[in-house]
Each structure stands twice: as structure tokens, then as C-alpha cells.
Amino acid sequence: MNDSSDIPAYAVYPDNTGDDAVFPWALAEEAAAWPPRSREQLRELWASFALRHTNGLGPRTWRRLADRYKDPMGAVLAARRWVADGVASEKVAREFLSESWRTPAREEWDAVRDRGLAVVLWSDPDYPQSLKEIPGPPFYLYRIGNPRLLAGPCVGVVGSRQVSDWGRDMAHTLGRDLSCAGLTVVSGMARGVDRYAHIGAMEGIGASVAVLGTGPDRIYPASNRDIFHTLARGGLVVTEYSPGVEPVAGHFPVRNRIISGLSLGVVVVEARERSGALITARQALEQGREVFAVSPPEYAAGFEGCMQLIEEGAIPVRSASDVLVELEPLLQNGLHKLPKTRAGSRANKDRGATRQDKGGRTKPNDLRKPVDNNHHSGMDSAGRDASNESPSHSKQSDLTIPASVGDEERSLLAAMDDVATVHVDELAERLDWDVSRVSRVLLMLEIEGLVHQWPGMRYSKGTRS
């Protein structure tokens, strides 16, 4: 039996009645009946739920905890040192130690146990290294299907829900041809582009992964039930959201970082000027991934966002071969096993800092400008980000807020008044909101052009000049 004298109460499994202070030996029988199957995995699962359900503990804080303490249980056992170690604010540490997370964590634990849900934990071999390296990695992933597909190589295919016939056919063809080349196609199982990319991918020798913006027991939209079951049998469905979580607008831009994080590159098939797919493209860029945009037929409506991306330096695509040619160096060198997210991909660097427009003129490569994603080196001893690129306060003060902007949006903008840039986690602390709510409101403001996202999940008021 383990010596329990140094183990805090919050690390103890809620049904513990044995002498083992973390997990009783009696749990071995229960563990054999549902994943995960070892006491060590059960400990990590409980610790993961505790951290995930702590108010104000978002992606940036989890990134620092993981780097410092290696795994969720290590972070939980060290909770009283978080502030001294410079990995969390006093407010977050107090929130965790208050155990306000216990009820929702227990509810999630019971749901996993009762339904036999499979969870890919941080320390699992199946947890993809590519996700561990992005800013704000998920604590864990629920999975339905083949977890080996997480290892890649993967390509993200995204775009509008309201898709044209041409865009639908292009999404299907790209999905099929990329899969026939042996790649795994990652998308979000939404209507439109996502649906047809998944369908095409399952026709090839490769496979497809869907990243949900809901809990693993919610199929959204219901019209994609056929896709869900097809992927569950021959592909993979993953989500970071708990069982029972319904579709909420703010969840989808948050999950998009997982689509791009799993992928060597992201292809935007069809997108209007303010499509959410453009935000996915910029997340991909921040993670050092390739950004592709379909070059549409001349005068085609609904592709304004794609043309904007191409103008900013995205790689134009008319067929899967355009994607494969660009990714070939990464695939040949086996880099898909360990994507380099800190300073951009090798292919970005090889192409240099300029591209040519259709007239042969060289123009600045704005979209592909090197991005420093080493958010750890940009932090001070208290765990605050020190961004070297930020807007001036004078530019923010000139911002005109339309009368149509709601109370939530105004509250969030007010919370940004005294800073040039602010991280999503800090906004959650300032407003006492959960991170998903902050992300949802930020998405609406970004689409309206009232906030801009910067590297490292930081935001400023106004547009980037």
C-alpha cells in the first residue's frame, strides 16, 4: 500500500475507501471494465478532469503546468507551489485548491465510467506530439475509432457550411485524392465543405478524422449522422469536450486549433470574406503549418476569403497535387512525426519571404511572415506573455463600436481597455468567464473587425495595421 501522508485530499479519487490514498487496489476490477485500464491512468484521468474544470485555468496555464510538472497528476500534486513556481496566478491556484471543480469533475468521471468512453490522456502514446507543441493543447481527447490515425501524416480541409456545387465537388475530390496518396484528412464534420471532404477521404486508401465541437455523445449536425458512424468504423472522431456538451458557437473556433494542430497544412476550399475558416487558416499559420487556399473559377462568388488568403501569401490550390508537392519535403524527411510549431515549417522557410502575383511582380509575403510561437521564452517570471509585436493604445482608442454590438461583446472590449494585447486566459480571469465563453465572444468580435488575434492566443482591440 502507498504511504498517504503527503497526498493532498484533492488528489484522492472520490470513491476511495481503501488504504491506497490515491486509488484503492479494489479499483483494479473496475479499471478492467472501462478505459483507461491501469491505476496510473485512472489517477491521470481524475487529475485531468480536476484541472479542466478549474475556472480560469485555460490553455496557456495548462501549457506551463505540463512543461513544469510533465503530466496532470504531477501538476495536481504540486498545486500549492504553482504561484511560487511562476506557472499560475494566485487566483487560479486558489480556485483549484478550493476544489470548486469537484462536482463537474465527478460528473465527467461517472459519464466516462458508465458509458465506457475512451480517453486519450496526455501521457498516452496515442496523444499526438504535434498537439503537445501547439499553444493551448487540449488536456485530453475523447476518441471513437482508430487512435493511430492521430499520428498522421494529416492534412486539414475546411471551408464554408453554405457551399457551392463547385466547392462541394472540390472538397470531395481533394479529400479523395489526398487520401489516395496515403494522407489522413482532418476536418470538423460540419455541413458543406467538411462533409464532402470526409466523404471523399473515406473513398481513398487513407482515412479521415473528425474533430467535434460537442461532446462525444452528441452528433451535430444530425444530418451528418452517417459521417459520424462511418468514421467511427473506419476512421476516427475526437473531441476535447465532455459528454453531454451541446453545440455552442464558441466551441467551433476553439476546436479548429486541433484541426490545424494535427495537420501538416490546412486547405481552405471555399470561404467568404469573414468566414470562420479564415480564422482556422491563421491558427494554422501561428502553429507553423502550411496554409493553402483553393483558387476558384473566375468570377465565382463565395470565394472572397480564399482570394484574400492567396493575396496574403497562401499557396493556391487547384488539385491535390498542389498540396502534395508543397508537403513532399516534410513527408520525405518524416517531419510529420514531430511537426515544428515553434518557428514555422521548413517549407515556409524554403520559399523565402516573398511571392509573385499573377503579373509576376514580387510582393511581401504577409500571411507567411515568420511568427515566433515560442510563447514560453516570451513570458516573464510570473507567467505573463511579453509580446514584441503589439498595437499602440492610440489605435485602440480610435475604435468605433457599432450600436448593434451586444452587452457581452462590450464587456469583453472594456476588459481590454488598459492593455495593448491580452491573452484569452487573462480575459477569462478578468471577466470571471470560462474560456469557451471568452473564445465565443472573441470570435464574434473578430468577424466584426473589432478585435485582432496575435501570435500566442493574444488579442487586441481593432484591426491589425
- H-type helices in 287-389, by residue range? 304-311, 320-332, 346-350
Q: Place 292 in a pLDDT band, splitting at 50, 70 and 90.
A: very high
User: To which residue does cell 499526438 refer?
Assistant: 128
Q: Place 260 in a pLDDT band, splitting at 50, 70 and 90.
A: very high
What's residue 395's pLDDT? Answer: 46
Mean pLDDT value across residues 144-153: 93
Q: Residue 364 and residue 460: Cα distance in Å, rounded?
A: 23
Q: Residues 394-430: pLDDT tens digits?
A: 445 557 788 778 888 889 999 998 888 888 888 888 8
Phi and psi torsions of 290, nearest 5°: -70, 145
Q: How remote is the C-alpha of 305 from its chain's centroid?
A: 21
Strands 458-461 and 451-454: antiparallel
User: To which residue does cell 500571411 refer?
Assistant: 367
Q: Residues 180-232: pLDDT tens digits?
A: 999 999 999 999 999 999 999 999 888 999 999 999 999 999 999 999 999 99
CB neighbourhood size of 125 (10 A): 9
Q: Residues 436-462: pLDDT tens digits?
A: 678 778 877 877 778 887 766 788 887
| C-alpha closest to that of 196 among 204, 205, 187 | 187
**307: amino acid identity, one letter:** M
* pLDDT above 90: residue 377: no
What's residue 12's pLDDT? Answer: 60
Strands 141-145 and 236-239: antiparallel
What's residue 361's pLDDT? Answer: 31
User: To which residue does cell 493511430 refer?
Assistant: 148
Please report, rounded to a whole number, the percentage of residues in the chain having pLDDT higher than 70: 76
Q: Do residues 329 and 351 lie in contact, with contact meaning Cβ atoms separated by under 8 Å? A: no
* pLDDT above 80: residue 239: yes
Domains of the chain: 9-120 (no CATH), 143-364 (3.40.50.450), 393-461 (1.10.10.10)
User: To which residue does cell 473587425 refer?
Assistant: 449
* pLDDT above 80: residue 372: no
* pLDDT above 50: residue 5: no
Looking at 28-32, 327-331, 398-402, which range is the least confident one?
Answer: 28-32
Q: Do residues 88 and 69 lie in contact, with contact meaning Cβ atoms separated by under 8 Å? A: no
Residue with the larger pLDDT of the pair 225 and 14:
225
